[in-house]
Amino acid sequence: MLKTPIARGVALATLGATLAVPTLAQAAFVEDTKAGLELRNFYMNSDNRSVPSSKQSKSEEWAQGFLFRAQSGYTEGTVGFGVDALGLLGVKLDSGRGRTGTGLLPKDNDGSAPDEYSELGLTAKAKISNSILKVGTLEPKNMAVARSDSRLLPQTFKGGQLVSNEIKGLTLDLGYLTEVNERNDSHYGDLKGQLRGGATANEIDNFIFAGASYKLLDNLTGSYYYSNLEEAYKQHSFNLVHVQPLGEGQSLKTDLRYARSSDDGSSTVDNKALGGMVTYSVSGHSFGLAYQEMKGDTGFAYLDGTDPFLVNYVMIAADFANANEESWQARYDYNFAAIGIPGLSFMTRYVTGDDFGAGGNGKEWERDTDIAYVFQEGALKNLGVKWRNGTYRSNSTRDIDQNRLIVSYTIPLM
């Protein structure tokens, strides 16, 4: 396990950037460089109810994260070159045997959490016109693969990605991933598939994706992605997003999603996922209603540990994507800036799913609430505080009550 402190990671990243570019005569490389250090303090308590006495009934940990990010500009010329650096350090503040498993910290063989864990990632990049190629440490976020950042440190990948915006309104996105570093780990390992009600290969060499997003109208965007997790699954994903203005301070947003997943190699993947969400917004209020259904022999397939592109992907139960499951979501958001309190926001939602499992008798529901505030001025300006509370109940697995408290602050360095 890599045990370097964050300062050492920053120094190595800076040295790597310097060596990567011969003579910094290219002013844009330096002038356009941006760097920042995010301090993320994370407390999580998960009460796992209705579990056998032989299993852990509670997870509770507290940790401090340091996330250093640096993005250089590009050298001058037809092809511009640059380098990005990512330094991650997680420090245990409170944990213990019998309380691990929150995803904030790694877990040693004896059941305890280490005092710290870290990662240093470098990414080489090249730019031609409006196309950018990156090779090295990646944090992809698209319909095919979206790295998870819902714990202390983000999930990262190794591979290459090309994003092109040569045609107005059209974005092309291609990628090849070979390894993954999970959000509570300090080393890279093989890619794995996540699947409800089926099986996927455990040792996978690569994941490829190719997609396009096009602005069909000023208020209508269509997207398509193809992805393939070797020896596990192939997937075609479609998305339409339409935003209709309804007058001053009002709008209606429609988000439609469909994905077809099938086997690749020796897996059993067979799934059709259909989902849609309609959100009406007015004067700081947002009212959303979503529906999602799964058809086929298995549940939805996606890269293990990532955030699947589903309308009912939420906090605890995650995806409501078991084979043949149907689920509904009701959601309400409020931005207090509408009444003169900028920085304060509130969200609550309820999701219920059924018709899955043996005999189609499976039922589950989840209720989540988020309250967040970002200080707007004074000595604490830009300090963010968020409390997340969730309750999950099911007739086929354990019940969970969960609380997360997250305090974050980013220090601009360049």
* 360-392 pLDDT per residue, tens: 889 999 999 999 999 999 999 999 999 999 999
Query: Per-residue pLDDT for 197 more than 90?
Result: no
Confidence of residue 1 (pLDDT cuts 50, 70, 90): very low
Q: Measured between alpha carbons, how far is residue 270 from residues 146, 181, 211, 367 in Å?
A: 21, 27, 21, 29
**Can you give the residue ranges of every domain in the chain?**
122-412
Contact predicate 267/234, CB 8 Å: no
Contact predicate 384/373, CB 8 Å: yes
* 310-352 pLDDT per residue, tens: 999 999 977 899 999 999 999 999 999 999 999 999 999 999 9
Query: Among 154, 179, 13, 136, which residue's Cα sits nearest to residue 89?
Result: 154
Q: What is the mean pLDDT of the chain?
A: 90
- Please state the pTM of the whole predicted model: 0.90
Top-level CATH class of 122-412?
mainly beta
Q: Which of 48-52, 125-129, 284-288, 341-345 has the lowest mean pLDDT?
A: 48-52
* 89-136 pLDDT per residue, tens: 999 999 988 899 899 999 998 889 999 999 999 999 999 999 999 999
Quote the percentage of the chain above a pLDDT of 90: 76
Rg of the chain on CA atoms, in Å: 22
Provide the 10 A C-beta neighbour count for residue 330: 14
Residues near 265 by beta carbon (within 8 Å), at least 6 away in sequence: 201, 230, 231, 232
Residue 149, helix vs strand vs coil: coil
Contact predicate 38/69, CB 8 Å: yes
